[in-house]
C-alpha cells in the first residue's frame, strides 16, 4: 500500500479549555473531557467527527475511548518532547498527509508536583535517564528552576538584557493578564514589586516562573475544505517545525543560550514565504521568562542579545510594535505547557480577544520549549 502524501492545507477550527484553577479537585479525565467538549462546541463538531488524537503525557487511545471517538485512524502519545507543540505539530502533519481528517491534540496539566508522585511510588514521565541524573542528583540539582537559573545567568552574561528588563517584561505580561478574565494572576504588578520578590535560583525570581495549576487544553485540526463548513473562521497552519539537538540533560548543553529554538526557527522560516517582519503577534513559551527572550531572538523578531532592550521600549506591550503573550503568558494564566500560546494565537487571528485584541492581526507565531528540544508554528488568518 502506498504511503499517503496528500499535502493538504490544514486549519485550526476548534479550541477549548477545562475549568482551570489551583487544586480544582478534578481528575485528569475531568479536565480532558471538559477541554475536549469545549473544543468540539467551539468548532461545531461532535465526537463522531474526530478520527485522530494526539497527546503529550496522556493516553490518547484511552482518551479517545472515554470521549466516544468511534473511528480513530491516527493516534499519538509523546513524552520526552517539547510539550504541546509536539502533538500539535504531528496532528497538523497527519491531516496534511491524509492519515486523518479531523485530529484533536490535547494536554492535561495537574498541580501536584512530581516529587509527590514519586513519594507515592509513581514515576516521572519523560524524566532524564539514569546516566544523566547521576551527574545531577548527588549534587542537589533536582529542580528545573536550577537549570533555568543557570540558563538565565548565562543569558544575562552574553546579552544586553538586565534583571530590570525582566521586571519590565513581568509588568507587561501582567498588564495583558489584567485584560484576560481567564488569567489566574490578575493583581496589578509594578517593577519595584517584581524586583523585591525572592530569588528561586539567582537571578531567577519566583515571578519569572509559570504558575502551577490544574488545566486541560484541546485544539482541533482539519482540512481547509472541511473548515469552510464549520462554526468558526478558519485559522491556517502556514508553517511548523519540531527539532531536538541533545538529550534530556539540560545542564550538559554545549551552548545554553543558543539552543533548540535556533534550529526550530530556522526550519520554520525555511518552510514559508513569510518573514519575521510579517508577524502581528507572538506567543512564546514562558515556563521561565528567559525562554521568551531566547525565542524572540531565535525567531529573528529581535536581534541577538537585544530582547531586554526591546521589551524595555514597550514593544511587547499593548499598543507596541510586537505584542507578545497577549493572554498574560503561562506565568499569569497558569501552566498549560504551551497549549495556551496556540489557543491565544488562534483567538487573536479570529478577533475574539476583546480589550487585548491586536488590531489587524493576521499572522501569529507560537513556540514551545527550550534547551534540547523545541518547536514553533506559524498561523495565518487567510
DSSP states along 301-330: SS-TT-HHHHHHTTTTSTTSSS-B-TT--H
Boundary-marking domain end, from 197, 227, 257: 227
Task: At 304, list the grid cell.
Answer: 541577538
Q: pLDDT at residue 188 above 90?
A: yes
Specify if 5 maps to a domain.
Answer: no
Choice between 136 and 4, residue whose per-residue pLDDT is larger: 136
Mean pLDDT of 27-43: 95
CB 250 within 8 A of CB 214: no
Boundary-marking domain end, from 227, 258, 280: 227
Q: pLDDT at residue 116 above 70?
A: no
One domain for residues 60 and 198: no
One domain for residues 324 and 177: yes
Give the pLDDT score at 56.
83
Q: What is the mean pLDDT of the chain?
A: 91
Choice between 7 and 38, residue whose per-residue pLDDT is larger: 38
Q: Which residue range forms the structural domain that includes residue 54?
A: 10-112+215-227
Domain with residue 221: its CATH number is 3.40.47.10
Give the number of domains in the chain: 2
Poorest-confidence range of 81-95, 102-116, 284-298? Answer: 102-116
Highest mean pLDDT among 77-86, 123-132, 350-359: 350-359
One domain for residues 197 and 219: no
Q: Which residues have CB under 8 Å from 160's CB, separation 6+?
A: 305, 306, 308, 309
Mean pLDDT of 208-236: 96
Give the pLDDT score at 128.
46
One domain for residues 194 and 105: no
Give the pLDDT score at 2.
45
Q: What is the percent of the chain with per-residue pLDDT over 90, rounded to a whole number?
A: 75
Mean pLDDT of 91-120: 80
Q: pLDDT at residue 105 above 70?
A: yes
What is the per-residue pLDDT across 85-104, written as a single tens digit (0 to 9) for each?
999 999 999 999 999 999 99
One domain for residues 95 and 180: no
Q: pLDDT at residue 131 above 80?
A: no
Give the pLDDT score at 161.
97
Mean pLDDT of 6-24: 93
The sign of the dihedral angle between the CA atoms of 54, 239, 237, 16 is positive
One domain for residues 221 and 299: no
Mean pLDDT of 94-115: 87
Specify if 269 maps to a domain.
Answer: yes
DSSP 3-state of 363: strand
One domain for residues 311 and 263: yes
Give the pLDDT score at 114.
46
pLDDT band at 139 (very low <50, low <70, confident <90, very high): confident
pLDDT band at 57 (very low <50, low <70, confident <90, very high): confident
Q: pLDDT at residue 339 above 80?
A: yes
Give the pLDDT score at 200.
95
One domain for residues 52 and 93: yes
Find the Cα–Cα–Cα–Cα dihedral 354, 356, 357, 359, rounded to 10°.
130
Find the Cα–Cα–Cα–Cα dihedral 258, 264, 270, 271, rounded to 10°.
-170
Specify if 262 maps to a domain.
Answer: yes
Boundary-marking domain end, from 169, 198, 227: 227
Q: pLDDT at residue 115 above 50?
A: no
One domain for residues 55 and 158: no
Specify if 234 maps to a domain.
Answer: no
One domain for residues 15 and 159: no
Q: pLDDT at residue 136 above 80?
A: no
CB 78 within 8 A of CB 53: no
Mean pLDDT of 282-302: 98
Q: Are strands 74-78 and 52-56 parallel, antiparallel or unpaired?
A: parallel
| Cis peptide leading into residue 203 (ω within 30°) | yes
Specify if 147 maps to a domain.
Answer: yes
Q: What distance in Å separates the CA atoms of residue 148 and residue 170, rounded to the nearest whole number?
A: 16
Q: pLDDT at residue 124 above 90?
A: no
Task: At 238, list the grid cell.
Answer: 502556514
One domain for residues 275 and 147: yes
Give the pLDDT score at 79.
74
Scored b (16 or more CB within 10 A) or e, 297-328 reads bbbbbbeeeebbbbbbeebbbbeeebbbbbbb
Give the pLDDT score at 133.
67
Specify if 325 maps to a domain.
Answer: yes
Give the pLDDT score at 375.
96
Poorest-confidence range of 25-34, 185-194, 199-208, 272-281? Answer: 25-34
What is the per-residue pLDDT across 155-168, written as a single tens digit (0 to 9) for each?
999 999 999 999 99
The CA-atom distances, in angstroms, between 271 and each of 237, 239, 265, 338, 357 are 11, 6, 10, 22, 28
Q: pLDDT at residue 329 above 90?
A: yes
Specify if 127 maps to a domain.
Answer: no
Specify if 205 maps to a domain.
Answer: yes
One domain for residues 244 and 220: no
Amino acid at each position: 500500500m502506498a504511503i499517503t502524501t496528500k499535502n493538504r492545507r490544514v486549519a485550526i477550527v476548534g479550541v477549548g479549555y477545562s475549568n482551570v484553577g489551583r487544586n480544582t479537585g478534578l481528575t485528569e479525565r475531568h479536565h480532558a473531557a471538559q477541554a475536549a467538549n469545549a473544543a468540539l462546541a467551539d468548532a461545531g463538531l461532535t465526537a463522531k467527527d474526530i478520527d485522530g488524537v494526539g497527546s503529550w503525557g496522556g493516553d490518547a487511545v484511552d482518551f479517545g475511548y472515554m470521549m466516544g471517538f468511534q473511528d480513530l485512524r491516527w493516534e499519538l502519545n509523546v513524552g520526552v518532547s517539547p510539550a504541546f507543540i509536539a502533538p500539535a505539530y504531528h496532528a497538523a502533519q497527519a491531516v496534511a498527509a491524509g492519515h486523518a481528517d479531523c485530529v484533536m491534540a490535547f494536554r492535561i496539566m495537574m498541580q501536584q508536583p512530581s516529587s509527590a508522585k514519586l513519594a507515592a511510588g509513581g514515576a516521572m514521565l519523560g524524566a532524564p535517564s539514569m546516566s544523566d541524573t547521576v551527574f545531577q542528583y548527588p549534587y542537589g540539582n533536582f529542580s528545573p528552576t536550577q537549570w533555568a537559573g543557570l540558563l538565565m545567568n548565562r543569558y544575562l552574561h552574553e546579552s544586553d538584557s538586565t534583571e530590570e528588563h525582566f521586571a519590565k517584561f513581568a509588568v507587561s505580561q501582567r498588564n495583558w493578564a489584567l485584560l484576560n478574565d481567564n488569567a489566574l494572576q490578575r493583581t496589578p504588578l509594578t517593577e519595584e514589586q517584581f524586583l523585591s520578590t525572592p530569588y528561586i535560583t539567582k537571578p531567577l525570581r519566583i515571578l519569572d516562573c509559570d504558575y502551577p495549576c490544574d488545566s486541560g487544553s484541546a485544539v482541533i485540526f482539519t482540512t481547509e475544505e472541511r473548515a469552510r463548513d464549520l462554526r468558526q473562521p478558519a485559522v491556517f497552519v502556514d508553517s511548523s517545525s519540531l527539532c531536538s539537538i541533545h538529550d534530556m540533560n539540560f545542564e550538559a548543553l554545549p551552548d545554553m543560550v543558543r539552543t533548540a529554538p535556533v534550529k526550530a526557527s530556522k526550519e520554520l522560516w525555511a518552510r514559508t514565504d513569510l518573514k519575521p517582519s510579517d508577524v502581528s503577534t507572538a506567543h512564546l513559551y514562558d515556563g521561565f521568562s528567559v525562554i521568551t527572550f531566547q525565542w524572540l531572538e531565535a525567531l529573528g523578531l529581535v536581534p541577538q542579545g537585544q530582547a531586554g532592550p526591546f521589551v524595555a521600549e514597550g514593544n511587547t506591550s499593548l499598543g507596541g510594535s510586537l505584542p507578545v503573550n497577549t493572554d498574560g503568558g503561562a506565568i499569569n494564566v497558569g501552566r498549560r505547557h504551551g497549549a495556551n500560546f496556540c489557543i491565544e494565537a488562534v483567538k487573536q487571528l479570529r478577533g475574539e480577544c476583546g480589550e487585548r485584541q491586536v488590531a489587524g492581526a493576521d499572522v501569529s507565531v507560537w513556540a514551545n520549549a527550550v534547551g534540547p528540544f523545541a518547536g514553533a508554528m506559524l498561523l495565518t488568518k487567510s
